[in-house]
């Protein structure tokens, strides 16, 4: 093949490569989804931070078809006594909903509940030392409600009142 034919062929092939649509990313497999779900539902701050970063930038995860919906803390207060549990409840909802959607909920429920409790305790750690006992009391109550009953619907007014008393004794 002479030089000018080769050059023409290279130019044509290069032009076609530029005009062709970019190759799409490989679709996420069920195993890929489970691996990501597992990495985002551990009890560590690193796991929670990775989930939260993905929550804030969902586009790279679109092929995984995660369910990001939430009702936060269900019928229980999202901010009991002023302690903001909304993000912890959202993370918990994410774990429950997505493990249910892939048929792996029973095998992962305990870990997702433990992740929830770890998230709540980390949140309580952001409050002053005087407020932490009341926050930790509520965190335990919220954890027990989901762990034992599978829902925060079982949080009782008496549990909130007990934490309120703890909080009142800090003043």
Cβ-proximal residues to 2 (8 Å cutoff; 6+ apart), any chain: none
In sequence order, which ranges of 30-104 are alpha helices (DSSP H)? 30-40, 45-56, 86-101
How far apart are the C-alpha atoms of 127 and 143, rounded to whole Å?
Answer: 19
Q: Which of 92, 147, 162, 169 is catalytic?
A: 92
How far apart are the C-alpha atoms of 139 and 161, rounded to whole Å?
Answer: 14
How far apart are the C-alpha atoms of 68 and 98, rounded to whole Å?
Answer: 9
Q: Is residue 147 annotated as a catalytic residue, yes or no?
A: no
Catalytic residues, by residue number, are: 92
């Amino acid at each position: 093949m002479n030089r000018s034919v080769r050059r023409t062929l290279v130019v044509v092939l290069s032009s076609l490569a530029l005009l062709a649509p970019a190759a799409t990313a490989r679709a996420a497999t069920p195993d890929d989804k489970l691996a990501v779900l597992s990495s985002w539902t551990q009890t560590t701050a690193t796991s929670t931070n990775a989930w939260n970063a993905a929550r804030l930038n969902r586009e790279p995860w679109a092929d995984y078809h995660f369910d990001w919906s939430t009702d936060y803390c269900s019928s229980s207060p999202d901010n009991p006594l002023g302690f903001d549990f909304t993000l912890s409840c959202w993370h918990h909802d994410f774990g429950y909903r997505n493990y249910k959607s892939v048929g792996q909920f029973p095998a992962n429920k305990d870990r997702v509940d433990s992740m929830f409790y770890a998230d709540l305790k980390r949140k309580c750690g952001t409050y002053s030392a005087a407020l932490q006992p009341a926050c930790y009391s509520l965190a335990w109550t919220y954890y027990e409600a989901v762990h034992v009953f599978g829902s925060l619907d079982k949080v009782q007014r008496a549990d909130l009142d007990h934490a309120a008393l703890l909080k009142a004794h800090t003043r």
